[in-house]
Amino acid sequence: MTDTASRLGEPSVSASSRAERTLAVWFVAVRGFFLVQAAVGVSVRSVLLSPLPVPLLCLVGVGLVSVVVGARLIRDGAAAAGRGLIVLDAVSTLLPMTVIILGTPVADRVTPWSNGLFTVSMSTAFLAGLCLRTLPGALLAGGALATCYLCAILSGPASPPWELLQAGAAVNACSYPEYAGVGWALAWFVRRLAGRADSARARIRELERDRTRATVHDLLPYLRPEHLVRADETTRTALIRQRAAKYRQLQAFVDDTGLVTDLDAGLAEVIELHGRLRIQSTLGIPPATRCDHDVQERLLRAVDTVLANVEQYAPEATVTVHTRVGPDAVEVTVQDDGPGFDPTATRFGYGLTRILGDQLQEVGGHATVRSGRGRGAEVTVRVPRLLP
């Protein structure tokens, strides 16, 4: 219980933030792998032939800088890494690599022992790909790293095996843009998925708010105390019955026990909520006719909203409710002989704009309003039986 409470109190972390930290962890893992690989190579070379104190010291220095860079990335995320952090990491790998290469004879520069930091510096290109948002920028950074590598390894007098060194250096230099491109593609894919996840979460929160607002909107007419004060005994009894039915409906919403699965029974329950109206219903829905849960919920709420509007603006009207069920859709028409209104000159409230508008459209349905002054009103709600 305590763990649940503490989790509920924590701020929600977006998928994008988690993705940026995941990218940072991937860089740290790649850098760590290359550092261990280089350390093993230099250590074996030192044991078998002669000690290499300078390469070992360079590796230690690169390792310390890598810890600082990795900690900063994990704390702030890959997207927060500025160019300064990339430059710092590049200098920390290229400078020691250049020192080692310049202190190595040309004939030995193609051996893995003397060029152990080359693989470590490739992870800098990977970092540039993760942090830079554009592919040209990532490839440009990889190209700059490749140029620095070529300038270092091809420096000094030309001596055998010069051709072999040139070929090996050219092949190695191609790895920098490749690692930068791979890092960029990986980061682009992860960020794209995280962005979609955040959009989906935001959409879910919006739908939950809409559903709650719609439920409160349905409840408001039953909370007006003047109805009970001004009503006679018969009307008061009907209002109490309505409120009891609405209470059961709200309790089902809170308990998430769902709707009545039978559409005919669900419509009959909605009509019962408006017992003060003179309603003539010809439902004619075959027994056990069902829709998707969300579709049926929007349909019943729309019909409830229409009847509530009639009850508010034309309480003396006679109302007719009839349905038509097809293989793919359900249509409910509510018609009254009240005073009517001009749809083009009327500003619709939340019920007609959201419940009969946006919320029906979200499940592939729609509502049609026909009315005129002195001609009553007719509202037809049409929804698919299955979600599109």
Taking only the tens place, the pLDDT of each residue in 46-83 is 665 555 677 778 888 889 999 999 999 888 888 777 77
Instruction: Quote the pLDDT of residue 4.
Output: 41
| pLDDT-wise least confident of 233-237, 257-261, 274-278, 377-381 | 257-261
Task: Encode pLDDT of 85-134 as tens digits.
Answer: 888 998 988 888 877 777 766 655 555 545 567 888 889 999 999 998 89
Nearest to 30 by CA among 172, 127, 162, 134: 127
Task: Encode pLDDT of 253-276 as tens digits.
Answer: 666 655 556 788 888 888 887 877
Mean pLDDT of 211-215: 74
Query: What is the pLDDT of the chain when averaged over all its residues?
Result: 80
Instruction: Quote the pLDDT of residue 176.
Output: 93
Mean pLDDT of 136-161: 82
| SS3 of residue 273 by DSSP | coil
Query: Do residues 279 and 321 touch, judged by C-beta distance below 8 A?
Result: yes
Task: Encode pLDDT of 299-322 as tens digits.
Answer: 888 898 898 888 888 888 999 999
Torsion from C-alpha of 323, 325, 331, 335, nearest 10 degrees: -10
Instruction: Quote the pLDDT of residue 156.
Output: 62
d(CA 301, CA 297): 6
pLDDT bracket for residue 211 (50, 70, 90): confident
| Element of type H or E holding 268 | helix 263-272
CATH architecture of 259-384: 2-Layer Sandwich (3.30)
| Percentage of the residues of the chain whose pLDDT score is greater than 90 | 23
| pLDDT-wise least confident of 122-131, 187-196, 353-362 | 353-362
Instruction: Quote the pLDDT of residue 268.
Output: 85
Cβ burial, residue 3 (10 Å; 0-12/13-18/19+): exposed
Instruction: Quote the pLDDT of residue 250.
Output: 67
| pTM score of the predicted model | 0.64
d(CA 266, CA 288): 11
* Domains of the chain by residue range: 14-197, 259-384
Q: Residues 6 or more apart from 165 whose CB is under 8 A from it?
A: 106, 109, 110, 153, 154
pLDDT bracket for residue 28 (50, 70, 90): very high
